[in-house]
Structure 1
Amino acid sequence: MGLVALLLVVAGAWASWGDAQHVLLSQGREHGTLVVTGCSAEVCTGRFDPEGPGPVRRDLTVERSVAVRSDGTYPVVVKPDSRELVRTGLGGGLHAWLPLGGALLLAALVVGGGLRLPRLAWSAAGLGGLLLVGTFLTV
């Protein structure tokens, strides 16, 4: 049961790291503001206005999610060697760690029910729940 709980948390952290690394380690990457003008089923596009002396671009996309709405303006960072953007700031950072929050909630069930460690289970559930609620309130 301990291995299952550990696997859940590691899988949640791994799923989160894909976007969270660009939010946390954004120094040296191209930052700017995205004004979303339209969204398809999977991505949203718009006008990217970089911080600094770069030209305005319209060929960059951001993943469509609850964190991005049409006609919204968002601070973003460009993923290296791609045309993809990741939302930054508190809302973007919490949204990037959302899979970890869900994994902590699932692991809490395994820890509490399978390992019979209620304090650790409540701690994991509380941390996962705070992450989920914090994301909901900031996005």
Structure 2
Amino acid sequence: MPATAASRAPREGAAVALRLGRLASMGTVAALILIAGVWASWGTAQHVMLTKGREQGTMRVTRCAGDVCTGPYTPASEGSRARDRVEIERTVAVKRGQTYSVAVKPGSSDVVRTGPSGLLYSWVPFGGALLLASVVVAGGLRMNRTAWVLGGSGLALITAAFVVL
């Protein structure tokens, strides 16, 4: 029995609805991945980027144990006070005996690295989110050029962070 225009319309309508559903769901997933990347990065990045009114200085790493390195803090900004012991997260780039420019997290003895290396390092989770979102954009949304831009941006951010560190 030949297909008529009336019998094709519901099938085409269903295909359009499925396509729109796929675009909406994959767009939502990609957006949530990017939002989660910004959220994960902002916890550290805010202390590096918004330095006005924050205590800034240098930290000399004297001891590393587990996931934390400690050492004395020497103030460099007005209103900052010297501390015998502050803590910084132990990463590949933090070495015992080195001195780093840092900012103190308000209300704690935790510090984060400042300067270009600290800024780039704080945004590494967002770089990972860009890489992951690029796969979703390419596969789910079929927007290959946009996916290449997202993936390239994420790769460039992560690479720049580890080159500077």
> Which region of structure 1 is more displaced relative to structure 2, 8-17 or 61-70?
61-70
Q: TM-score, normalised by structure 1?
A: 0.95
CA distance in 1, matches of 2:149, 2:30: 13
Contact kept in structure 1, 2:72 and 2:83, CA below 8 Å? yes
Alpha-carbon shift at residue 58 of structure 1 (Å): 1.9
Q: Which runs of 5+ in 2 are unaligned?
A: 1-25
Which consecutive segments of 4 or more residues in structure 1 shift more than 4 A?
52-55
Residue equivalent to 1:21:
46
Backbone CA RMSD of aligned residues: 1.2
Alpha-carbon shift at residue 52 of structure 1 (Å): 4.9
CA distance in 2, matches of 1:28, 1:128: 31
> Which region of structure 1 is more displaced relative to structure 2, 50-59 or 95-104?
50-59
Q: Which runs of 5+ in 1 are unaligned?
A: none
1:95 to 2:121 alignment: yes
More helix, by proportion: 2
Bigger Rg, which one: 2
Q: TM-score, normalised by structure 2?
A: 0.81
Cα deviation digits, residues 32-74 of structure 1 (max 9, x gap)? 0011011111111012111157553222111111231211110
CA distance in 2, matches of 1:58, 1:44: 13
Alignment-mate amino acid for residue 31 of structure 2: L
Contact kept in structure 2, 1:67 and 1:91, CA below 8 Å? no
Higher relative contact order, chain-length normalized (CA < 8 Å, sep 6+): 1
The sequence identity of aligned pairs, in percent, is 51
Give the length in aligned residue pairs: 139
